[in-house]
C-alpha cells in the first residue's frame, strides 16, 4: 500500500528553520575578515546553506535548492583556499543571502520575487565557481581539505541511523539522506524493523524504521556527519570506522577530535506557536484573578481562623505565582534576537559612507517579552543608523581630532529594577546643541529667548520635523524618524533620553517594561474610583500640602518636591470624578519618575500593592488617552490602569496651551 503524505503541512517548519539558517549565514559572513580564511566560520556558513538546500529539495522548492547549491560551490572553494577572501567576495555572498531570503519570503507568502535580481547574483556566483554538474550533490566532490584528512587507503565505515518517531514532523526525509550517502562510495544497507508496530497501531506520520549501513571509499567522518547535519537531535546516530589506517599525525590526535556530534539530550526543545502561549497566559491570568477573588471572599467571611484552610490558601497563592512566572518566562527571549540585525546594517552603511565602524554588544542574554522585543527592533535600528550617519566621522576627520580611524558604536542591555535598559552609545561628533536650538527656533518649535538646560535642548531631537542635517539622504535628514522612535517606545510604556557631548559622542538610553501582560501595581482610590499605578515608576508618596503649591497660567499646578517643582495631575479633573477627602484623610501625591524628570498625581487614598493582569481596553472597548488597560480586582470590580507617561504628555500639552493663551 502506497501512502501519500502531504508535505505542505511541514512548510511552516521549513521556512522557520531556513530563516534561522539565513541569520547564521549573515552573522558569520560579517565575522569574516578579508585575507583571512577562518575554516570554522566558513564551515558554519556551509552547513547552514547545505541544510537549506537539502530541505528545499525535499519540499519541491527547486529554484531555492539550485541557488543555494551555487553558494555551496563558492563556499567550498573558499574553505579549500581556491578563492581568496576579500571584501568583494563577502559582499557578493551577503547579496546572495539577501536573495535567498527574498526567495524564501516570496514562497512563504505565495508572491513572485524579482527574478532579474536573483539571476544577476546567480550569474556572479557561477562566474566565481563554474560547476558543470549542477545536480550533483556537493558531498560527491571530495574537497582538498577532506583529501588531506582522509587516509591514503580506502576506509570502511559502519553507520547506524535510527530516527526518532517524530522525524517527519521536522520536514526531514530519511530516504533523501540515504541517497546522498550512497553517492560517497560502495554502499550496503539493511533496515531495522524491530520498532514497527502492528498494522492497527501504525501512524503514517511517524517513523518506525532504522537502518544499518556500510560504506567504503576514501571517505572522512566529516563527510558522513555532513550528510546527517540537519537531523542532529532528531535521531540516534552511530558512526564507526571498521578499517582504520592513520598517519602518525592522526595518531597523536585524541579520538574526540574527529568530529563533534550533539548527544541525544542536548538542545531538546519543542516549537510552540505564539497564539498557544498567549492563550495559556490568558488562562493563567484568569487563575490569578480567581485566586485574588478567593482571598477576598475568605476575608469577608472571616475564615482566617481556620489555620489549615489559611495554609492551603497560601500554598495556592505560591503555586499560582510560580505558575504565572514560569508561563511568563516562556514568552521571554534574549535581546540578541534583535541585535542580530545591527551588524549587517553597520557593515553596509560603513562601506556606503566610507567610514570605519566597529559595533560592540554586551548583555545579549538579557531577556525581554517577545512582543516588546519585536516592536523595539525598528527604533533600535533607526538609532544605530542615526549614530552612524550623524555621529561617527570619516577616518580623516577622526584622525585630525586625535581619534582612532575606526569609530565605535556600543549597544548594551541590562536589567534595572522592573525594567530593561538599552543604551546605544557612539564616540562620534555628538549633538551640536547651539545648532539644534537655532533650528528649533527657526521652525517655531520653541519660543525664542526661552531658557533651557543642556539636557532639555538635546532632548529636542525627538521633536517632530526637527533635523540638523545639511543634506537629505536615504539614511536621514528629512526631519522624520526620531519623533517616531520616541512614540513607538512610548507605546510600549517606555522612555528614551539622550546624553551628548560635542566632540565626544552620544548615548541614547531606552527604558522598557519587562512585559506588557503582567504589572506590579499600586492600588489607589480617587473618589469612589479605583485605579492601578505601575509600581516600578513610583518614586515616593507624600501628604499633600497646599502651601507647597504654585499655580502657573491659572491652570498648571506645580508642587515643591525637594529641590525642584513637579507638575501635578488631578485625576478628579481629568476624569470628572467627585473627590472624597477630609481633614482626617488629606490628599496624597504619588511622585513618578518620567525619564530624568518627575511628575505628581493627586489621589485620595493609597490602598496597597497588587500584581494585576492587564486586559486591553482597545480590544474590549476602545483606546482611552491616559489609560493603558484594565484589570479585575479581588472583589470582582474593574480597575483602570493608568498610563503615567500618556498622562504626563497630556498634561504638558495642556500646560503649553494654557501658557500660550
pLDDT range class, residue 254, cuts 50, 70, 90: very low
- 518-660: which CATH topology? OB fold (Dihydrolipoamide Acetyltransferase, E2P) (2.40.50)
The total of other beta-carbon atoms located within 10 Å of residue 659's CB is 12
pLDDT over 60 at 102, yes or no: yes
* Residues 345, 474 contacting (CB under 8 angstroms): no
pLDDT at 399: 92
Query: Phi and psi dihedrals of 195, rounded to 5?
Result: -90, 5
Say which range, 141-155, 213-227, 643-657, has the weakest mean pLDDT.
141-155
The total of other beta-carbon atoms located within 10 Å of residue 618's CB is 11
Question: Could you give the CA distance from residue 520 to residue 511 in angstroms, rounded to a whole number?
Answer: 16
Say which range, 300-304, 394-398, 591-595, has the weakest mean pLDDT.
300-304
Own/partner contacts of 348-352, CB < 8 Å, gap of 24 or more, are 349/385, 349/388, 349/389, 349/475, 350/388, 351/87, 351/91
Question: Could you give the CA distance from residue 118 to residue 112 in angstroms, rounded to a whole number?
Answer: 12
Say which range, 150-164, 291-305, 498-512, has the weakest mean pLDDT.
291-305
Question: Could you give the CA distance from residue 293 to residue 299 in angstroms, rounded to a whole number?
Answer: 10
Question: Could you give the CA distance from residue 262 to residue 306 in angstroms, rounded to a whole number?
Answer: 54
More confident residue, 258 or 472: 472
Say which range, 357-366, 493-502, 621-630, has the weakest mean pLDDT.
621-630
Question: Could you give the CA distance from residue 181 to residue 225 in angstroms, rounded to a whole number?
Answer: 10
pLDDT at 259: 35
Q: How many CA atoms lie within 13 A of 506 on its CB side?
A: 24
pLDDT over 60 at 146, yes or no: no
Reading phi first (left if > 0) and then psi (alpha if -120 to 50, else beta), residue 546 is in: alpha
Domain at 7-136, CATH homologous superfamily: HPT domain (1.20.120.160)
Cα distances from 515 to residues 333, 373, 419, 611, 637, in angstroms, run: 11, 10, 9, 13, 24
* Closest-CA residue to 1 (of 172, 210, 204): 204
Look up the CATH number of domain 334-513.
3.30.565.10
Q: Which residues contact 253 (CB under 8 A, 6 or more apart)?
A: none
Question: Could you give the CA distance from residue 17 to residue 517 in angstroms, rounded to a whole number?
Answer: 28
pLDDT over 50 at 229, yes or no: yes
pLDDT over 50 at 148, yes or no: no
Question: Could you give the CA distance from residue 558 to residue 552 in angstroms, rounded to a whole number?
Answer: 7
pLDDT at 185: 84
Q: Nearest 5°: CA angle at 363, between 17 and 388?
A: 85
SS3 of 274, please?
helix
What is the DSSP-derived secondary structure letter of residue 34? Answer: T
The CATH architecture of the domain made up of 144-244 is 2-Layer Sandwich (3.30)
pLDDT over 50 at 7, yes or no: yes
Report the predicted TM-score, pTM, of the whole model to 2 decimal places: 0.62
Q: Which residues pair with 163 in a beta bridge?
A: 235
Question: Could you give the CA distance from residue 269 to residue 233 in angstroms, rounded to a whole number?
Answer: 9
Identify the sign of the CA torsion 45, 235, 222, 70.
negative
Q: Which residues contact 133 (CB under 8 A, 6 or more apart)?
A: none
Per cent of the chain over pLDDT 90 is 12
More confident residue, 282 or 110: 110
The total of other beta-carbon atoms located within 10 Å of residue 531's CB is 21
pLDDT at 545: 86
Question: Could you give the CA distance from residue 156 to residue 215 in angstroms, rounded to a whole number?
Answer: 6
Amino acid at each position: 500500500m502506497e501512502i501519500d503524505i502531504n508535505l505542505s503541512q511541514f512548510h511552516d517548519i521549513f521556512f522557520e528553520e531556513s530563516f534561522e539558517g539565513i541569520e547564521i549565514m549573515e552573522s558569520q559572513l560579517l565575522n569574516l575578515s578579508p585575507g583571512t580564511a577562518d575554516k570554522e566560520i566558513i564551515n558554519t556558513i556551509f552547513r547552514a546553506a547545505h541544510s537549506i538546500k537539502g530541505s528545499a529539495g525535499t519540499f519541491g522548492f527547486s529554484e531555492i535548492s539550485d541557488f543555494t547549491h551555487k553558494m555551496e560551490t563558492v563556499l567550498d572553494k573558499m574553505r579549500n583556499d581556491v578563492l581568496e577572501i576579500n571584501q568583494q567576495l563577502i559582499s557578493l555572498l551577503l547579496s546572495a543571502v539577501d536573495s535567498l531570503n527574498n526567495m524564501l519570503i516570496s514562497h512563504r507568502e505565495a508572491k513572485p520575487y524579482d527574478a532579474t535580481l536573483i539571476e544577476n547574483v546567480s550569474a556572479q556566483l557561477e562566474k566565481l565557481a563554474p560547476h558543470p554538474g549542477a545536480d550533483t550533490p556537493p558531498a560527491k566532490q571530495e574537497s582538498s581539505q577532506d583529501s588531506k584528512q582522509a587516509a591514503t587507503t580506502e576506509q570502511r565505515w559502519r553507520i547506524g541511523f535510527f530516527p526518532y518517531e517524530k522525524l517527519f514532523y521536522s520536514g526531514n526525509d530519511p530516504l533523501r539522506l540515504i541517497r546522498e550517502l550512497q553517492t560517497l562510495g560502495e554502499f550496503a544497507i539493511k533496515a531495522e524493523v524491530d520498532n514497527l508496530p502492528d498494522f492497527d497501531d501504525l501512524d503514517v506520520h511517524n517513523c518506525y524504521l532504522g537502518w544499518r549501513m556500510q560504506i567504503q571509499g576514501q571517505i572522512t567522518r566529516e563527510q558522513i556527519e555532513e550528510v546527517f547535519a540537519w537531523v542532529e537531535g532528531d535521531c540516534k546516530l552511530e558512526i564507526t570506522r571498521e578499517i582504520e589506517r592513520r598517519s602518525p599525525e592522526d595518531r597523536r590526535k585524541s579520538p574526540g577530535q574527529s568530529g563533534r556530534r550533539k548527544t541525544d539530550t542536548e538542545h531538546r526543545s519543542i516549537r510552540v506557536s505564539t497564539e498557544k502561549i498567549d492563550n495559556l497566559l490568558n488562562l493563567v491570568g484568569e487563575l490569578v484573578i480567581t485566586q485574588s477573588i478567593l482571598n477576598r471572599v475568605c476575608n469577608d467571611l472571616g475564615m482566617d481562623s481556620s489555620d489549615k484552610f489559611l495554609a492551603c490558601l497560601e500554598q495556592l497563592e505560591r503555586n499560582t505565582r510560580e505558575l504565572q512566572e514560569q508561563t511568563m518566562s516562556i514568552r521571554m527571549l534574549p535581546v540578541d534576537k534583535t541585535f542580530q540585525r545591527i551588524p549587517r546594517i553597520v557593515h553596509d552603511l560603513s562601506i556606503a559612507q566610507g567610514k570605519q565602524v566597529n559595533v560592540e554588544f554586551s548583555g545579549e542574554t538579557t531577556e525581554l517579552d517577545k512582543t516588546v522585543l519585536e516592536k523595539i527592533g525598528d527604533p533600535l535600528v533607526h538609532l544605530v543608523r542615526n549614530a552612524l550617519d550623524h555621529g561617527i566621522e570619516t577616518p580623516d576627520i577622526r584622525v585630525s581630532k586625535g581619534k582612532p580611524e575606526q569609530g565605535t558604536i556600543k549597544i548594551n542591555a541590562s536589567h534595572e529594577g522592573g525594567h530593561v535598559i538599552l543604551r546605544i552609545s557612539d564616540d562620534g561628533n555628538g549633538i551640536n546643541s547651539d545648532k539644534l536650538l537655532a533650528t528649533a527656533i527657526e521652525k517655531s518649535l520653541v519660543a525664542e529667548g526661552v531658557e533651557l538646560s543642556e539636557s532639555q535642548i538635546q532632548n529636542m531631537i525627538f521633536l517632530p520635523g526637527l533635523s540638523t542635517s545639511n543634506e537629505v539622504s536615504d539614511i536621514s535628514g528629512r526631519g522624520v524618524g526620531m519623533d517616531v522612535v520616541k512614540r513607538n517606545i512610548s507605546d510600549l510604556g517606555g522612555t528614551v533620553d539622550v546624553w551628548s557631548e560635542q566632540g565626544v559622542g552620544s548615548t541614547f538610553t531606552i527604558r522598557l517594561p519587562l512585559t506588557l501582560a503582567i504589572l506590579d501595581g499600586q492600588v489607589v482610590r480617587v473618589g469612589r474610583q479605583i485605579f492601578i499605578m505601575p509600581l516600578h515608576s513610583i518614586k515616593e508618596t507624600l501628604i499633600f500640602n497646599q502651601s507647597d503649591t504654585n499655580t502657573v497660567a491659572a491652570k498648571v499646578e506645580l508642587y515643591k518636591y525637594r529641590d525642584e517643582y513637579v507638575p501635578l495631575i488631578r485625576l478628579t479633573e481629568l476624569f470628572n470624578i467627585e473627590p472624597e477627602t477630609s481633614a482626617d484623610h488629606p490628599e496624597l501625591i504619588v511622585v513618578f519618575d518620567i525619564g530624568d524628570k518627575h511628575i505628581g498625581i493627586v489621589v485620595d487614598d493609597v490602598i496597597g500593592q497588587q500584581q494585576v493582569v492587564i486586559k486591553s481596553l482597545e480590544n474590549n472597548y476602545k483606546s482611552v488617552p491616559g489609560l493603558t488597560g484594565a484589570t479585575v480586582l479581588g472583589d470582582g470590580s474593574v480597575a483602570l490602569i493608568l498610563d503615567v507617561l500618556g498622562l504626563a504628555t497630556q498634561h504638558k500639552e495642556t500646560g503649553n496651551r494654557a501658557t500660550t493663551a
